[in-house]
Structure 1
Amino acid sequence: MIVTHNWRAEQFEAERPRLRAMAYRMLGSLAEAEDAVQETWLHLFSADTSTVSNLGGWLTTVVARVCLNMLYARKSRREESLEASVSMPIISREGGIDPEEEAELADAVGLALLVVLDTLAPAERLAFVLHDIFAVPFDEIAPLVERSPMTTRQLASRARRRVRGSGLVKDADLASQREVVNAFLAASREGSFDALLAVLDPDIVFRADYVAVSRGAVREVCGAQAVARGARQLLERIPFAQLVLVDGAVGIVLAPRGRLLLLLRLTIRDGKIVAVDAVVDPAILHQLRLAVLPG
């Protein structure tokens, strides 16, 4: 029994880095990924694996099921308050999850990818991550999402289109929008007031949604001077801003470790930002059509 336990432990530790990477991409949270891997170990410890010929594949199936259950549970809690969402990824939980480690991991995975994955339905996210990132065949994914292999392929394809934003915007439009938004974001972070004014239309309007207003934000701010001051105060203190495609246009999301908390939807005309709409309503954020910006 001791020999069997030691063998299982050795095999599991060899698979742990891959399971952790897989769980992180499916869940977007290092703390939750660690929980999923630990639960997978508990399954292994209590299961009869004498007939298992491919332990790595068996562990992949278990961790995927655990993550899928966690995603469904998370979806049912989308009504949680914005304050709870903000505090969760920034504050290290008791038990040793290092916020800096998670920030580095998110950066390595791609923050924009995590943001987009977080807007997918659980089955879509699982199918895309397992197949496109970890090369798991569709006939092995299908039982996990309780679909046929053909339908599972369609789930991954739909997720792939969302992630890549295929056909959402013309390259020329994208390049010009991205240049303006990058300049806006850089000037905000650096606190350069003149550089901010250079990309804002003199009559720019900033609008906040009702959730932001209920938490103390001003409903509407007009004029480049006032909007520049607000943008500088917001973005120079937040290292989690990321450019993404939002319904075919370049926008800015604030997403600590990939958890989408706020969207700045920018309207650009003739090389100037003429409007900024701030969205913090969780119900809206998770219905957005987001895509990863091409490198």
Structure 2
Amino acid sequence: MALTADDVERFEAFRPRLEALAYRLLGSAAEAEDAAQETFLRWQAADVDRIEVPEAWLTKVVTNLCLNQLASARARRETYVGQWLPEPLLGGDPMLGPAETAEQRESVSYAVLTLMERLSPGERAVYVLREAFAYSHREIAAILDITEAASQQILHRARKHVAGGRARTMIDEAAARRIVEEFLTAAASGRTEPLVRLLVEDVVSVADGGGKVPARAKAFQGALAVARFLRGLFKPGEAKRAIAGGSPELHAWTANGDPAVVAVMDGRVVGVLSLEVTAEGIAAIRNQVNPDKLERATARWAAVDHGDPLFTIF
């Protein structure tokens, strides 16, 4: 049955929410877009006049598409080269979704997206639907074809897994910029001491190159080890410039609500280094340099006024 212009408009009005939901479930902007488009194809094939609550129907379809995708994603990640990190979303990206409550902002943070890798697909779905989109357990039960009691139990388990992380400090854009400026100043100083002072004792630094960009397969752990790594990373050198093909410009921004260093070369985002900030200091550094996971960031970067760089690396 052909869709009317109104039917298409109804879907398009809801597409951003579907993409935001799919991104939280999959950790990939590209896969989230694909899931939303496949949902549109299902909408196109349905008898939409008989769908009583379009929002509920669309949410159920996209959630189940993502659950199927998560099952195969787990197998792919077992053979992934190096560390796997989610695709970062730069500040202002509509795919970040609702951000009115602390729970909503937390649910799209890099820290929580990474921790959600511990969850089963079902746990992940219940957690996202409840924490990020405030669906009731009754609604979640209908979406996932489970009981309300099961939804409550699954959420309890999921929260316990996700609670394994540190309590993040919520900060605004101005504070994020100050943190990034202080971090870059310390990293470019050539000394480890200024960096160590910014880091918590058991800080972790992880990078995702996807086998396409050099990145250490194992995480650096501990303030001194991470500080030494960062000192070397930011140390200028002709060899580094040759490998990178130039000198990336470093900007202060946010990614998934966290302070972030955005590395840009010839208008292309070549790295997003996110800082997980707690009351005690920087608890984790997650560096996404896999070019396949930076295409949306590059498109977003081109659409915003990002000003002059703070530093030029190498």
TM-score by length of 1: 0.57
SS at match of 2:160: helix
Distance 1:66 1:243 in 2: 30
Please tell me whether Structure 1 or Structure 2 has the larger radius of gyration of its CA atoms: 1
Shift of 1:150: 1.0
SS at match of 1:192: coil
183, 186, 197: which is aligned to 1:186?
A: 183
- Are 1:199 and 2:196 matched, yes or no? yes
1:1-295 matches, cutoff 5 A: 4-82=3-81, 85=84, 89=87, 109-142=108-141, 144-165=143-164, 186=183, 190-194=187-191, 196=193, 199=196, 228-234=227-233, 239-243=272-276, 251-254=283-286, 256=288
Q: Which amino acid aligns with 1:199?
A: V
User: Cα–Cα, structure 1 residues 84 and 118, in superposed 2: closer, same or farther, change >3 Å?
Assistant: closer
Any conservation in 2 of the 1:23–1:63 contact (CA below 8 Å)?
Answer: yes
Any conservation in 2 of the 1:187–1:193 contact (CA below 8 Å)?
Answer: no
Match of 2:176 in 1: none
Task: Tell me whether 61-70 or 115-124 shows the greater mean CA deviation.
Answer: 115-124
Distance 1:193 1:157 in 2: 46
Any conservation in 1 of the 2:82–2:215 contact (CA below 8 Å)?
Answer: no
Structure 2 stretches lacking a partner, 5+ long? 98-104, 168-178, 206-213, 235-260, 264-270, 290-314
SS at match of 1:77: helix
Distance 2:62 2:135 in 1: 13
Distance 1:142 1:114 in 2: 23
Any conservation in 1 of the 2:21–2:128 contact (CA below 8 Å)?
Answer: yes
Identical amino acids, percent of aligned pairs: 32
User: Cα–Cα, structure 1 residues 217 and 43, in superposed 2: closer, same or farther, change >3 Å?
Assistant: closer
SS at match of 1:252: strand
Distance 1:82 1:5 in 2: 46
Any conservation in 2 of the 1:112–1:244 contact (CA below 8 Å)?
Answer: no
Any conservation in 1 of the 2:186–2:195 contact (CA below 8 Å)?
Answer: no
Q: Deviations over 1:52-91 (max 9, x none)?
A: 11111111111111111111111122212325958x959x
User: Cα–Cα, structure 1 residues 19 and 194, in superposed 2: closer, same or farther, change >3 Å?
Assistant: same
What is the Cα-based RMSD across aligned positions, in Å?
4.7
User: Cα–Cα, structure 1 residues 148 and 104, in superposed 2: closer, same or farther, change >3 Å?
Assistant: closer
Match of 2:240 in 1: none
Any conservation in 1 of the 2:60–2:144 contact (CA below 8 Å)?
Answer: no
Distance 1:218 1:118 in 2: 18
SS at match of 2:76: coil
Distance 1:239 1:45 in 2: 37
Distance 1:227 1:47 in 2: 53
Match of 1:263 in 2: none
Q: Which amino acid aligns with 1:137?
A: S
Distance 1:150 1:242 in 2: 37
Aligned length in residues: 222
Structure 1 stretches lacking a partner, 5+ long? 91-98, 170-181, 209-214, 258-295
Any conservation in 2 of the 1:19–1:63 contact (CA below 8 Å)?
Answer: yes
Higher helix share: 1
SS at match of 1:78: helix
Distance 1:241 1:15 in 2: 29
User: Cα–Cα, structure 1 residues 122 and 188, in superposed 2: closer, same or farther, change >3 Å?
Assistant: farther
Distance 1:76 1:227 in 2: 30
